[in-house]
Structure 1
Amino acid sequence: MKRLIFILLTIITASSAFAQQNSDDLVQFSGVVLSADSSTVIPYATITNVSNKNQVNLSNYKGYFSFVAHERDTLRFTSIGYSSTVVIIPSNVKDHSYTLQVKLNGKSINLPVVHVFPWATTDEFKKDFMTMKIADDDLEIARKNLSGKSIASLGRTLPRDSKEIQNAWSQGETQNLMNQHSYTNPLFNPFAWGAFIKEITAGNKSRGVSDN
């Protein structure tokens, strides 16, 4: 009986010492996860405690994390698009608090080359190629813009500038002056000739002169 009691006391003492030892090496591990290339935060990075049965923690949307770990624990930081980084908490941490900036390097993934062909058969390709509309080059665009049809269309739609308005006004004033002071030769007027012949006939009759 005494031996059994001694064994139980030994186990309790060892457990208390082990528990005291484990509580002494607890560390509040805090920090932020950043990109090594641009120093921007990496949100929701996965933090796996390899030394503690792969316990998983996450950083928040600002890349910040804080959780309890032990001294000498190995932690693996991973995130999609970045290479993983391993951090080991040192021993004898002051005030049981350890803060760290964890930087992850971007990971480049080379994908295999993929050739995309939108045509199922060669005949479909030939048909689309023959009916394809090719965009005009600079020379063809200039030729179309300077064609008579294009210029006439612009003349009907575009408003006249000040020079064109001044020229039209000057031409109108000149035409008005010419009409006011012009002299028309009656010899070139058939109506004047008719009135002249009528006057001669009326004068002969008044004088009793016969047409014969």
Structure 2
Amino acid sequence: MKRRLQFLILLAIAIPFATNAQFEKLKDSVVQLYGVVMTADSLKAIPSVTVMIKGQNRGTITNEQGVFSIVVMKGDIVEFTSIGYKPKLATIPRDLEGNQFSLLQLLVTDTVYLPATIIRPRPTKEQFERDFVNVSIPDDNIEIARKNTDESKRRVLARTLPRDGTENSNMFLRNNSQRYYYNGQAPPQNIFNPAAWAEFIQAWKRGDFKNQN
């Protein structure tokens, strides 16, 4: 019993020192990494470069001036990637003194080789004129906007597009309000409502029922 008590006392004294030593070791391993990413040929800042810790789902991106800042651990491998540039790896030294590390990372342009394209003229002038007249030109943004704002197109979209959350909530509230309003009595029939018949006739003239089919 006495030995057990001595062991517990020794353990209670040793645990705080071990925890404190482990915390100091972890604290010493944390590094604030900051730097600039630039092009290797012209030394221009590269914005929106992805800066990721390799093997971890953690990272950041550079700002408009190519500057970044991220917390890493000593020994981590940092990967720099950006569209149009070759990826680059940088290793944080394990024997780094202090808890700050600056880095000037240069990225090299990634050359992409496309297959050769051969342009040949039309055999005759008449064939060129015929192909030029019959070529199908895709719609530009103005033409697409004009088609989307057409009255018939808007009517079709209004019937086919699903309701959003606000419309569904309003419809649910209106249905509940109407049900509670006529609670305990039969609701009126719109077959004898002149306004409902007028709306039905106008919809029939507009061709709403025909477009639905």
| Structure with bigger gyration radius | 1
